Amino acid sequence: MLWRTILYDPPAQRCFLNVWYQTTSGGRRPPGVFGARGLLQARWCRQRRPGGSVQQGFVLWFTGFSGAGKSTIADLVSEMLRKRDVAVELLDGDEVRTHLSKGLTFSKEDRDTNVRRIAWVAGLLSRHGVAAITAAISPYVAIRTEAREMAEEFVEVFVDAPLEKCRERDVKGLYARAERGEIPNFTGVSDPYEPPPSPEVHLHTDVEAPEESAQKVIDYLEQRGLIS
């Protein structure tokens, strides 16, 4: 059994989250997210400070090609929100694959499972006043729609960049390896990416600096009333 304890302590509230991944069956299973041998459960304890108020939680969902700039911008937005005393948790696609979704492949079925897990955790966090930020390719429209339905407040951010630009930024050589057939089901090479038809925020990282893109996200959150 693996435990992770997270403490959120912005001025307006004190929140503890215990999340554990249990490798035996039993307990309450989030439908359609975890298999019979692996259950993710969470327990919250919330305590409001005297005179404090609980903030509005939301899910900020970054999607786009590998190399488009999702993680870079998500990191910047996270820091900008923390400076406003917003409780933030960043669910990066690579880190989720290492821990929460270890063992999953890059088949469409496993990719959908990975996104469902991210969405379930993000939705849970957001319902308890946390700004849950995700940065994963999440290439398919249908599964992103499922993710949206798991959150009360959901903001889809399309991090848009031409494939040529993403290849230029690819210091790990992932695109080259995919083109040689060394990485199967690689988005943009051997697997499609379905752009969001109507994202709340559309970034163009081939012509925008990361700081400019991050500020656009913050501006939208202010306009929508999710932050002040």
53 in any annotated domain: no
β pairing state of 58-63 and 131-135? parallel
Domain harbouring 131, CATH code: 3.40.50.300
Mean predicted confidence (pLDDT) in 159-167: 97
Global pTM value: 0.78
**Is 198 found in the same domain as 86?**
yes
Give the structural domain span for 25. Answer: 2-47
- For the cut 90, the answer to whether the pLDDT of residue 141 exceeds it is yes
Q: Which of 138, 190, 198, 228 is catalytic?
A: 138
Q: Is the pLDDT of residue 198 over 70?
A: yes
Q: What is the pLDDT of residue 31?
A: 41
Q: What is the pLDDT of residue 68?
A: 98
Assign 11 a pLDDT band (cuts: 50, 70, 90).
Answer: very low
Residue 169 has pLDDT above 80, yes or no: yes
Residues 39 and 72 placed together within one structural domain of the fold: no
Residue 132 has pLDDT above 70, yes or no: yes
**Do 98 and 195 fall into the same domain?**
yes
Is residue 52 domain-resident?
Answer: no
Is 228 annotated in the active site?
no
Looking at 28-42, 93-107, 188-202, which range is the least confident one? 28-42
Which range (49-58, 96-105, 169-178) has the least confidence? 49-58
- How many domains does the chain contain in total? 2
Could you tell me if 32 and 66 lie in one domain? no
Which of residues 25, 47, 69 is at a domain's end? Answer: 47
Question: Residue 107 — very low, low, confident or very high, per pLDDT cuts 50/70/90?
Answer: confident
| Averaged pLDDT of the chain | 81
CA torsion, ordered 114, 116, 122, 125, to nearest 10 deg = -120
Domain finish residue from 47, 66, 82: 47
Average pLDDT over residues 126-143: 96
49 pLDDT more than 70: no
Terminal Cα distance for the chain, rounded: 39
99 falls in which pLDDT band (50, 70, 90)? low
